[in-house]
Amino acid sequence: MSEQYNGSEPQPAVFVLGLDVGSSVIRCHVYDRAARVRGSSAQKVTNIYPQPGWVEIDPDILWAQFVAVIKDAVKAAGIQMSQVVGLGISTQRATFITWNRKTGKHFHNFISWQDLRATELVKSCNNSLLMKLFHTYCQVGYFFTRRKRFLSASHFKFSTQQAAVRLAWIIQNMPEVQEAVEEENCCFGTIDTWLLHKLTKGSAYATDFSNASTTGCFDTYKMCWSGVLTFLASVPLSVLPPIKDTSHNFGSVDEEIFGVPIPVVALVGDQQSAMFGECCFQTGDVKLTMGTGTFLDINTGKDPPFTASGFYPLIGWKIGQEVVCLAEVNAGDTGTAIQWAQQLDLFTDAAETEKMATSLEDSEGVYFVPSFSGLQAPLHDPCACASFMGLKPSTSKYHLVRAILESIAFRNKQLYEIMQKEIHIPVTKIRADGGVCRNGFIMQMTSDLINETIDRPAHFDMSCLGAASLAGLAVGFWKDKEELKKLRRSEVVFKPQKKWEDYETNMENWVKAVKRSMNWYNNA
């Protein structure tokens, strides 16, 4: 604990900042000791689409926005920069950049986690002789040792969402980067690492465990960059940043930027941050984030989850000796489906959808398949199409809206089931967050379908709160996790009301619609 804000009367009050660099918005909240938001600011992230399937972010624009939201939030709170004792940053995961170690100049834009340019390379890595040898090696390793890490690794496959293969693509296709790699003059960083580099004017170069575990280059079992995985993806270890605890003093912001040196004390991936913000600290705690997509995460305790279907194990956070692991499943289109309907003028404000849905008995046999970006777990079909089925002359926009909301709840049920099947850990509690959890219809239906109580917090920007919580712990602003638990406020608790049987036929029909939408783009 630092003396300057240790409570004596004449000292001004102090605050921590929680930032979230998401896929669509950069947000900053100023938190007081009661974890109340005292000032906020947000800016839209602009994605660039230079070619079909390519998704980039301009780092100079992102940096300017990042600095601006901090200044604006502090101004909105009516406080001085000098009253800020710590900064925590949560970021969209697996979006990365590379830059010149000597000059600090970046070689290209951020390559977004949504970018598909490396699809062919992922296929060839997946099918390479090396990968086959690796799987065989792991199967043999498991046979002799019965160590679960071998079994999990024997199912390991790369995907474009992990940074590893996109980075390999960049190195192969950009001679400038390749040259820098050969001269050991190339730095790789996800958004957090790069922001830290910018904030400290190049003096700090690091990432945290929660981030590192999403790159596809990380060995969750040994807690370090994986020599084998980086070799499989042809990524040189020399470009990867050192990995630090999630809640840790990463360095101070250069004084020129905000006039005072503010310590950067937490770097964390967005889902992990939301998990922390929800106080899902115990094994079996679950959080359901419904934003652009849905992310269902369960705390699996100190051991990485073992699953046969190839869930990639994640590190939630590492603080000192404490390591918390997560298992995660996701669905790609949640908020995107609602946004799409809004663009069609089915309603003007997403808040109306709840009333529209509850004004009907049912969707009159109309089903929606939320698959603008394919279907993820448990179906794993990138070629599935989005579709409406069962349309009739009498179908109104109300039915369409209800079908969309129902489809989100049905997907939640599917994700929950696969999690229960794969992760043999009893669920202790479930907490929801993200913009779409404001929709009471989806929340109630999800609670009914999974037959579990779901707690919706009073605070929605969980990734900001999580980053601020981690930062606050690192500087002694909050004492411990128990204190954070006491500060958490619940808004509504959804309890199961209807029986599963009431939905059974409906869900069976929806599953039928899903099946018929699968493998649609099979020539793609």
Ligand X SMILES: *[C@@H]1O[C@H](CO)[C@@H](O)[C@H](O)[C@H]1NC(C)=O
Binding to ligand X by residue 126, rule CB under 6 A? yes
Burial of 480 (0-12, 13-18, 19+ CB in 10 A): exposed
- In angstroms, rounded to a whole number, what is the distance separating the alpha carbons of residues 63 and 89? 13
Give the nearest distance from C-beta 280 to ligand X in angstroms: 19
Query: Which one of 41, 207, 271, 412 is in contact with ligand X (CB under 6 A)?
Result: 207
Strand partners, 218: 225
Ranges of beta strands (E only) in 416-489 are: 429-433, 454-457
Query: Which one of 41, 112, 214, 230 is in contact with ligand X (CB under 6 A)?
Result: 214
Strand partners, 252: 263
- Site for ligand X, residues 490 to 519, rule: CB under 6 A: 499-500
- In angstroms, rounded to a whole number, what is the distance separating the alpha carbons of residues 299 and 326? 5
- Among residues 116 and 475, whose Cβ is nearest to ligand X? 116
DSSP 218: E
Taking residue 3's Cβ as centre, other Cβ atoms within 10 Å add up to 8
Q: Helix 397-422 and helix 335-343: axis angle, to 10°?
A: 170
For 191, residues 6+ apart whose C-beta sits below 8 A from its C-beta are 21, 62, 91, 92, 95, 96, 97, 110
- Among residues 380 and 489, whose Cβ is nearest to ligand X? 380
- Site for ligand X, residues 240 to 269, rule: CB under 6 A: 269
Give the nearest distance from C-beta 390 to ligand X in angstroms: 26
Give the nearest distance from C-beta 452 to ligand X in angstroms: 8
Binding to ligand X by residue 226, rule CB under 6 A? no
Strand partners, 492: 456
Torsion angle of the four alpha carbons 306, 309, 310, 314, in this order, in degrees rounded to the nearest 10: -50
- Site for ligand X, residues 76 to 115, rule: CB under 6 A: 91-96
- Among residues 28 and 94, whose Cβ is nearest to ligand X? 94
Binding to ligand X by residue 119, rule CB under 6 A? yes
Binding to ligand X by residue 380, rule CB under 6 A? yes
- Among residues 91 and 226, whose Cβ is nearest to ligand X? 91
Pick the piece of the chain touching ligand X (CB under 6 A) from 69-77, 120-128, 325-333, 484-492.
Answer: 120-128
Token look-up 């799987």 returns: 135
Count of chain residues binding ligand X (CB under 6 A): 27
- Among residues 4 and 124, whose Cβ is nearest to ligand X? 124
- Among residues 207 and 220, whose Cβ is nearest to ligand X? 207
- Site for ligand X, residues 426 to 455, rule: CB under 6 A: 451
CA 386 to chain centre: 23
- Among residues 299 and 376, whose Cβ is nearest to ligand X? 376
Token look-up 């830290």 returns: 196
**Torsion angles phi and psi, residue 181, rounded to 5:** -65, -45
Exposure pattern of 358-374 as b/e (b: 16+ CB <10 Å)? eeeeebbebbbbbbebb
Tell me the per-residue interface mask from 149 to 188 with ligand X, x by CB under 6 A, - otherwise: --------xxx---x-------------------------
Q: Which residues bind ligand X (CB under 6 A)?
A: 91-96, 119, 122-123, 126, 157-159, 163, 190-192, 207, 211-212, 214-215, 269, 380, 451, 499-500
